[in-house]
Amino acid sequence: MHKYELLVLNILKKHSSITFSELEKKSGLGKDELLWSIENLSNLSLLDLTYKKNNSITLSQEGMSYSKSMLPEDEIINTLQSGKEIKASQLLLDKERIGMQWCIKKGLIIIKNGILSLTKKGEEYSVPSAESIFLSTLHKKSNSTESFSSKELSYISEFSSRKLIEVKDKNIIDIIKISKKGAEAIIEESENSIDQIDRELIVSKSWESKKFKKYDVSIPVQQQILSMRHPLRLLLNDVKNTFSRLGFTEISGPIIEPSFWVFDSLFVPQDHPAREAQDTFHLSNPSKLPINDKEHLKSIMKSHTDSWKIKWSQEEAESAVLRTQMTSVSVHYIREFMKKYLSGEEVALPQKLFTVGRVFRNENLDYKHLTDFYQCDGIIIGKNLTMANLFDTLTNFYKSFGVKIRFKPAYFPFVEPGAEIFAQIGENGNWLEIGGSGIIRREVTGISRRKINVLAWGLGIERMLLINNDGIKSVVEPYNSGLSWLRTRKLR
């Protein structure tokens, strides 16, 4: 008999009955060890167990996010009570739409001509509401619903219907008694049974004349929380490993650049809307960054002046910005490669390169847009390369992820021709744009395509999480989730 079982039986010999919590204190055993011992002794009819029902309340990811602030309807009422106007058409996020629906359901607002207005009930509504306060403290309260008031039970019912919490009933051990058989049993470890294997037992082969104790794998134990990598980090590693297997070399570059490398060197005209503050983050300190490659500066200035027929400003080109795409890294390498090639230096072809990093755009957040996100940029430098080579490379890349893609003609300033890349969500789902691609223009490479070609593409990493991934419906989700969300992911 195992020493834990002996300990439990010896304690129970002194008590006619005992609760699980009392036995846990007296034995000094961990919950797992104690449960194992009790269930094992019960299976041998040495103990009599009485069970009671208990509840397990777990906050969902949505419920956890609300518990940290307030319910979405509270946020809308708070805004309206402060005197601000809200149009229904402005509520684009899922949380905002949910909040509006619950405001209507609770009779807190009416909508007239597309504008939200408070009802009398809404004007008297306290923010944060009692529901919000209860939700924010729920994780600190007892799991047993027996401890809740009738009002709190109504909140529990509402939260459960809204899928903010999950309530599970389970049987737990309450009263433990030693049985007649247990009282009559000899409370000492049998010399003829083995419950633990050690080196001495194996070396001496003394186990050959003894009986092994049965191991019960059905005994309930505490949930073990396993460590795992974040889905986004796993995807980033997969992207890098896949390109490496396809023969690509990884490169990197700075996040902060002069506009010259982010826009001008990529043949984006200086009056293009993408360069404005509504789309690009401009820095105030430093506000300007020098362009050290004077020869390239003159070449780009000439190509802009000749092609776009507008006055080109070096001051605008020196404006410091956060990079808006990873092509700003690739273009540095293209420039250095072309300098070697044009000088007659021997270079190996094709050159296959990729870079992965964060980029920044002044976007409105929604299910497929972020203000800063990961992007993968790739280039192939070689001779006689065509769009067919580009399509084949990207098809093979996405095939390794089990993703079906297709291409659609599109315009990008620095490629000609260009194509957008679309991936299918699930087997029969909608098609989602996940990147752009094309053949780099000679205005960027500085060399005729008859001599050399550069294939290029930029891929959105977070959008790949929406494709064939377990339950992720928005690119925002991986960033506003906590450990409880991560623990629900599939192990890899």
The one-letter code for the residue type at 68 is K
Q: Are 72 and 98 in contact (CB under 8 A)?
A: yes
431: which DSSP letter? E
pTM greater than the 0.75 cutoff? no
For the four alpha carbons of 242, 248, 252 and 257, in that order, the dihedral sign comes to: negative
Residues 6+ away with beta carbon under 8 Å from 32: 221, 222
- Nearest-5° Cα angle at 332, 328 to 333: 120
Tokens of 121: 């009930």
List the domain boundaries for the chain: 3-58+169-212, 233-255+323-486
- Check residue 187 and give its pLDDT: 46
Q: Which fold is adopted by the domain 233-255+323-486?
A: BirA Bifunctional Protein; domain 2 (3.30.930)
Report how far residue 93's alpha carbon sits from residue 115's, in angstroms, rounded to the nearest whole number.
17
Tokens 């924010």 belong to which residue? 136
Could you tell me the CA-to-CA distances from 345 to 265, 339, 341 in Å, in that order?
23, 9, 6
Query: In whole angstroms, what separates CA 108 from the centre of its chain?
Result: 34
For the four alpha carbons of 392, 441, 431 and 492, in that order, the dihedral sign comes to: positive
List the pLDDT tens digit at each of the 492 positions of the chain: 677 887 888 888 787 788 888 888 888 888 888 888 888 888 888 888 888 777 778 888 888 888 888 999 999 999 999 999 999 988 888 888 899 999 999 999 999 988 999 999 999 999 999 999 988 888 666 555 666 788 888 988 899 899 888 887 777 788 888 887 777 665 444 445 666 778 888 888 877 777 776 666 766 666 677 778 888 999 999 999 999 999 999 999 999 999 999 999 999 999 888 888 778 999 999 999 999 999 999 999 999 998 888 888 999 999 999 999 999 999 999 999 999 988 888 889 999 999 999 999 988 878 788 889 999 999 999 998 999 999 999 999 999 988 889 999 999 999 999 999 999 887 777 899 999 999 999 999 888 767 889 999 999 999 898 886 667 888 888 887 677 778 777 766
Give the CB-side neighbour count of residue 11, counting CA atoms within 13 A: 24
Which class would CATH give 3-58+169-212?
mainly alpha
Q: How many CB atoms lie within 10 A of CB 330?
A: 26
Query: In whole angstroms, what separates CA 10 from the centre of its chain?
Result: 50
217: which DSSP letter? T
DSSP H helical ranges for 141-292: 150-161, 180-184, 199-204, 231-245, 259-262
Q: Are 356 and 240 in contact (CB under 8 A)?
A: yes
Nearest one of 254, 262, 253 to 318, comparing CA atoms: 262
